[in-house]
Chain A
Amino acid sequence: MARNVDALYIFLLIVCGMMTLLIFVCLVYFSARFRHRPGVRAEQIEGSTPLEITWSAIPFVIFMVIFAWGAVVYFQERTPPTDSTEVYVVAKQWMWKLEHAEGQREINELHIPVGRDVKLIMTSQDVIHSFYIPAFRMKQDVLPGRYTVEWFRATKPGVYHLFCAEYCGTQHSGMVGDIVVQEPAQYEAWMNGGSTGPLSATGEKVFSELGCATCHRNDTQGRGPNLNGVFGKPVQLEDGRSVTADENYLRECILDPGSKRVKGFQPIMPTFRGLVSEEQVNALVAYIKSISGTKAGDSGKASASAAAPQPAAKAQPNGSQVQ
Chain B
Amino acid sequence: MSMEIAIPQAVEQENYLNKEYGVWSWLLTTDHKRIALLYLISITFFFFIGGFFALLIRLELLTPAGDLVQADTYNKLFTMHGMVMVFFFLIPSIPAVLGNFLVPLMIGAKDLAFPRINLLSWYLYIIGGVMMLHCMLTGGVDTGWTFYAPFSTNFTNTKIVEAGLAIFVVGFSSILTGLNFVVTIHRMRAPGMTWSRLPLFIWAHYATSIIQLLGTPVIAVTIVMVAAERALHLGIFDPRLGGDPLLFQHLFWFYSHPAVYIMILPSMGIISEILACFSRKRIFGYTFVAFSSIAIAVFGFLVWAHHMFVAGMSVYAALVFSLLSYAVAVPSAIKVFNWTATLYKGSIHYDAPMLYAFGFLGLFTIGGLTGLFLAALGIDVHVTDTYFVVAHFHYIMVGGAVMGYLGGMHFWWPKISGRLYPEGWARLAALIVFIGFNLTFFPQFLLGYMGMPRRYYDYSHMPEFQVLNVLSTAGATVLGVGYLLPMIYFLWSMRYGKPASDNPWNAAGLEWKTASPPPTFNFEEEPVVTWEAYNYEELDAPHSEEVPVAR
Cα A263 to Cα B314 with chains together (Å): 26
Partner of B375, one of A20, A70, A73, A170: A70
- Is B337 an interface residue when CB atoms closer than 8 A count as contact? yes
Within B296-317, the residues touching A (CB, 8 Å) are 309-316
Residues A165 and B318 in contact, CB atoms below 8 Å apart: no
B25 to chain A minimum Cβ distance, whole angstroms, is: 42
Partner of B349, one of A36, A145, A318, A323: A36
Cα A44 to Cα B288 with chains together (Å): 17
- Is B458 an interface residue when CB atoms closer than 8 A count as contact? yes
Residues A323 and B345 in contact, CB atoms below 8 Å apart: no
- Is B162 an interface residue when CB atoms closer than 8 A count as contact? no
**Which A residue sits closest to B343, measured CB to CB?**
A30
Residues A74 and B318 in contact, CB atoms below 8 Å apart: yes
Cα A44 to Cα B540 with chains together (Å): 11
Residues A12 and B376 in contact, CB atoms below 8 Å apart: yes
Residues B323 and A167 in contact, CB atoms below 8 Å apart: no
- Is A298 an interface residue when CB atoms closer than 8 A count as contact? no
Q: With A132-B451, A139-B382, A173-B457 as given contacts, are A19 and B346 in contact (CB-CB < 8 Å)?
A: no
Residues B288 and A52 in contact, CB atoms below 8 Å apart: yes
Q: Inside 8 A of A233's CB, which chain B residues have their CB?
A: none
Q: Which of B148, B347, B455, B457 counts the most chain A CB atoms within 10 A?
A: B347
Partner of A170, one of B75, B239, B385: B75
**Which B residue sits closest to A178, measured CB to CB?**
B461
- Is B256 an interface residue when CB atoms closer than 8 A count as contact? no
- Is B422 an interface residue when CB atoms closer than 8 A count as contact? no
A35 to chain B minimum Cβ distance, whole angstroms, is: 5
Q: Inside 8 A of A52's CB, which chain B residues have their CB?
A: 285, 288, 334, 338
Q: Inside 8 A of B336's CB, which chain A residues have their CB?
A: 23
Cα A73 to Cα B326 with chains together (Å): 17
Q: With A126-B155, A143-B246 as given contacts, are A34 and B326 in contact (CB-CB < 8 Å)?
A: no
B74 to chain A minimum Cβ distance, whole angstroms, is: 9
Q: Inside 8 A of A126's CB, which chain B residues have their CB?
A: 150, 155
Cα A47 to Cα B66 with chains together (Å): 55
- Is B491 an interface residue when CB atoms closer than 8 A count as contact? no
Residues A143 and B245 in contact, CB atoms below 8 Å apart: yes
- Is B233 an interface residue when CB atoms closer than 8 A count as contact? no
**Which A residue sits closest to B384, measured CB to CB?**
A139
Cα A134 to Cα B350 with chains together (Å): 44
Residues B373 and A163 in contact, CB atoms below 8 Å apart: no
Cα A141 to Cα B246 with chains together (Å): 11
Q: With A34-B346, A55-B334 as given contacts, are A141 and B378 in contact (CB-CB < 8 Å)?
A: no
Q: Which of A31, A42, A165, A172 counts the most chain B CB atoms within 10 A?
A: A42
User: Mask for A143-181, Cβ within 8 A of B = 1, else 0?
Assistant: 111101000000000000101111111111110100000
Q: With A16-B369, A56-B330, A323-B312 as given contacts, are A71 and B319 in contact (CB-CB < 8 Å)?
A: yes
**Which B residue sits closest to A147, measured CB to CB?**
B312
Complex interface: stretch among A58-66, A109-117, A287-295, A300-308: A58-66
Q: Inside 8 A of B312's CB, which chain A residues have their CB?
A: 140-141, 143, 146, 148, 323
Complex interface: stretch among B83-91, B357-365, B436-444, B522-530: B357-365
Complex interface: stretch among B2-10, B109-117, B276-284: B276-284
- Is A48 an interface residue when CB atoms closer than 8 A count as contact? yes
Cα A164 to Cα B453 with chains together (Å): 8
Residues A321 and B315 in contact, CB atoms below 8 Å apart: yes
Cα A12 to Cα B23 with chains together (Å): 56
A/B pair count, beta carbons within 8 Å: 273
Residues B458 and A174 in contact, CB atoms below 8 Å apart: yes
Cα A41 to Cα B345 with chains together (Å): 9
**Which B residue sits closest to A162, measured CB to CB?**
B461
- Is A75 an interface residue when CB atoms closer than 8 A count as contact? yes
Residues A70 and B454 in contact, CB atoms below 8 Å apart: no
Cα A143 to Cα B246 with chains together (Å): 9
Within B339-371, the residues touching A (CB, 8 Å) are 340-341, 343-350, 358, 361-362, 365-366, 369-370
Partner of B329, one of A43, A63, A69, A321: A63
Residues A169 and B156 in contact, CB atoms below 8 Å apart: yes
Q: Inside 8 A of A145's CB, which chain B residues have their CB?
A: 239-240, 245
- Is A128 an interface residue when CB atoms closer than 8 A count as contact? yes
**Which A residue sits closest to B331, measured CB to CB?**
A56
Residues A16 and B375 in contact, CB atoms below 8 Å apart: no
B252 to chain A minimum Cβ distance, whole angstroms, is: 13
B508 to chain A minimum Cβ distance, whole angstroms, is: 12
Residues A140 and B457 in contact, CB atoms below 8 Å apart: no
Residues B348 and A34 in contact, CB atoms below 8 Å apart: yes
Q: With A41-B540, A48-B285, A173-B66 as given contacts, are A27 and B361 in contact (CB-CB < 8 Å)?
A: yes
Cα A40 to Cα B280 with chains together (Å): 11
**Which B residue sits closest to A63, measured CB to CB?**
B326
A150 to chain B minimum Cβ distance, whole angstroms, is: 9
- Is B432 an interface residue when CB atoms closer than 8 A count as contact? no
Q: With A67-B323, A127-B151, A161-B462 as given contacts, are A42 and B315 in contact (CB-CB < 8 Å)?
A: no
Residues B315 and A318 in contact, CB atoms below 8 Å apart: yes
- Is A314 an interface residue when CB atoms closer than 8 A count as contact? no
Q: With A36-B348, A40-B347, A45-B284 as given contacts, are A74 and B378 in contact (CB-CB < 8 Å)?
A: yes
Partner of B458, one of A48, A77, A173: A173
**Which B residue sits closest to A148, measured CB to CB?**
B312
- Is A37 an interface residue when CB atoms closer than 8 A count as contact? yes
User: Mask for A68-103, Cβ within 8 A of B = 1, else 0?
Assistant: 011111111110000000000000010000000000
Cα A27 to Cα B336 with chains together (Å): 11
- Is B459 an interface residue when CB atoms closer than 8 A count as contact? yes
Q: Inside 8 A of A166's CB, which chain B residues have their CB?
A: 148, 385
Residues A172 and B456 in contact, CB atoms below 8 Å apart: yes
- Is A51 an interface residue when CB atoms closer than 8 A count as contact? yes
Cα A141 to Cα B282 with chains together (Å): 49
- Is B471 an interface residue when CB atoms closer than 8 A count as contact? no
Partner of B315, one of A37, A46, A322: A322
Q: Inside 8 A of B288's CB, which chain A residues have their CB?
A: 47, 52
Q: Inside 8 A of B240's CB, which chain A residues have their CB?
A: 144-145
Complex interface: stretch among A3-11, A190-198, A211-219: A3-11
- Is A276 an interface residue when CB atoms closer than 8 A count as contact? no
Cα A34 to Cα B238 with chains together (Å): 60
- Is B377 an interface residue when CB atoms closer than 8 A count as contact? yes
Residues A8 and B376 in contact, CB atoms below 8 Å apart: yes
Q: Inside 8 A of B540's CB, which chain A residues have their CB?
A: 41-42
Q: Inside 8 A of A5's CB, which chain B residues have their CB?
A: 378-379, 381-382
Q: List 29 A-B contacts (CB under 8 A).
A: A9-B379, A19-B365, A20-B365, A27-B358, A30-B348, A34-B345, A34-B346, A35-B347, A35-B348, A36-B349, A42-B281, A44-B537, A45-B284, A46-B282, A47-B288, A52-B288, A52-B338, A63-B326, A67-B375, A132-B453, A145-B245, A163-B451, A163-B456, A166-B385, A168-B151, A171-B71, A173-B455, A174-B71, A321-B315
10 interchain residue pairs of minimum CB distance: A134-B451, A145-B239, A73-B378, A70-B376, A74-B377, A47-B285, A30-B343, A173-B456, A63-B326, A137-B382
